[in-house]
Structure 1
Amino acid sequence: MEPLLRVEIEEAGYEAGKPKIKQVSLEVMPGKLTGLIGPNGAGKSTTLKAILGLIPEIKADVRFADGHGKYAYVPEHPVFYDTLTLWEHMSLAAAVYGIDDAEFQRSGGELLEKFRMTGVRNHLPGGFSKGMRQKMMLMIGFLLKPEVYIVDEPFIGLDPRATKDFLGLLEEERSRGAGVLMCTHVLDTAERICDDFILMADGRVAAKGTLHDIRLAAGLPEAPLFDCFDVLT
């Protein structure tokens, strides 16, 4: 099975001659959820930005399946227009990605219901809580039904019910073959839902693979991910 996303980063950074990350390689496979984990400053966000082409100084080979992979990026900090309602944000995304209007009306309505946001459909996100804004970003991502999801800290601001809704939708997307690269600090949830991990420290990959592989690298064959994280970083 071919990866949906293959990344080989020799180095990347924000200033010439000052790389923030080096020798980072990863793959996202169909139907799999890869967790990108590591302490603050490890290079996780820089890695995501390098994949998305948002880093000025980069030596890397980033390849999506068939050379034209469709992906959705859900940022840690919600981005929105002050003058557009929630539904207008979703409609704009649908128009940009060429989603048929009938399909948008159906799937957009379903997402509003699943995230319990129907009541604020025509409200401006400037008045939303952080969690509601995060829900908006997630809904826009799910609306696109991409081959690859790149998600940065999706659990920040979400209450337990919204987290459950998000994980349920993510499982549906994986069942149809979508792959997910998810950066998160919520290690107990990551241990439960991720198929494999990229553990970063000091701008490099400290360990990678399944939880079994991470445990072997840490020398802790029965330990939870948190303890392995502590040893390896």
Structure 2
Amino acid sequence: MQPEPILQVEDLTGGYSPRRPVLHQVGFHVEAGEMVGLIGLNGAGKSTTIKHILGLMKPHAGRVKVQAAELEQDPEAYRGAFAYVPETPVLFDEMTVEEHMRLTAMAYGLEREPFSRRLEMLLDEFRMRDKRKAFAAHLSKGMKQKVMIMNALLIQPALYIIDEPFLGLDPLGIRSLLERLMEEKRRGAAILMSSHILSTVETYCDRYIVLHRGRVAAQGTLADVRAAAGSGGTLEEAFYRLVEEDSDEPGA
């Protein structure tokens, strides 16, 4: 029997107002050991989709499952199965880098030995060792983003939800992140990554979900997206073909 996907989004309809939903019957899944790119124009519904997965918004219809758990039935199992890296870093100004990592470890029940080992490894990989005692208020935006990424990688969850992770990162930070995500994928983690950098999405992701006007315009491998677009070429070329008629849609 084939195991259930790590993330299942089924016929999701939702948004800020029941009268005017942003999402319309959105459905997709992310398997263990794969990275899926969530792409779309501003206003396509990417952020709204992510907010529903995080449990920050309640679906009008449909459901979301993480490791077969639903938020209302088992909130602890649901929330404990994923880590989220937002587009804008959110840290406590008067806590150090190391204190943020310790707080995350406590929240997820990570024991002392694996915490210490992973902390040292991440500080080296993201070139943050000299900042371990620095307060968040004194970090640049790129360094704050590194702290968010390090906290997610620290707990090695079943699912990563990553929203525009490259903003503010220098080239070495981007390379470190992508290398670690590939390692996590090999470990068996599922990764949902939203990004506007389509060349990177095409290179690293196994499948793609193209959202447009709150609906899934195409999903699957590059060949599947090309077929839906009726074109060949790169992911970027197929994407433009799918959305070019409505490129002035406002943000959502």
Using the size of structure 2 for normalisation, the TM-score is 0.89
Q: Which residue of 2 aligns with 1:133?
A: 144
1:191 equivalent to 2:202? Answer yes
Alignment correspondent of 1:210: 221
Deviates more, 1:121-130 or 1:137-146: 121-130
Cα deviation, residue 22, structure 1: 0.7
Give the 3 Å change call, closer, same or farther, for CA 74–9 of structure 1 in structure 2. Answer: farther
Secondary structure of 2:148's counterpart equals helix
Q: Which has the higher strand share?
A: 1
Instruction: Check if 1:142 corresponds to 2:153.
Output: yes
User: Which has the larger displacement, 138-147 or 96-105?
Assistant: 96-105
Instruction: Quote the residue 1:231 is aligned against.
Output: 241
Instruction: Write out aligned runs for 1:15-164 (5 A).
Output: 15-56=17-58, 58-67=60-69, 68=77, 70-164=81-175
Counterpart Cα distance in 1 of 2:27 and 2:215: 9
What RMSD over aligned residues (CA atoms) do the two structures have, in Å?
1.2
Cα distance in structure 1, aligned partners of 2:168 and 2:53 = 25
Question: What CA distance in whole angstroms lies between the structure 1 residues aligned with 2:168 and 2:63?
Answer: 33
SS state of the match for residue 56, structure 2?
Answer: coil
Q: Which residue of 2 aligns with 1:3?
A: 5
CA distance in 1, matches of 2:121, 2:51: 30
Structure 2: state its 5+ residue gaps. 70-76, 244-252
Check conservation: 1:90, 1:108, Cα contact below 8 A.
yes
Q: Percent identity?
A: 46
TM-score, normalised with respect to structure 1: 0.96
User: Which residue identity does 2:15 align to in structure 1?
Assistant: G
- Give 1:57 shift: 5.4
Q: Deviations over 1:146-180 (max 9, x none)?
A: 00101101111111111110011111111110010
- Contact kept, 8 Å, 2:12 with 2:59, in 1: the verdict is no
Question: C-alpha distance in 2, partners of 1:15/1:207?
Answer: 25
Gaps in structure 1 of 5+ consecutive residues: none
The total of aligned residue pairs comes to 232
Q: Is this contact kept in 2: 1:153–1:182, CA < 8 A?
A: yes
For residues 12-38 of structure 1, the C-alpha deviation after alignment (integer angstroms, 9 at most, x for no partner) is: 111231211111111010110000000
- SS of equivalent residue, structure 1 residue 61: strand
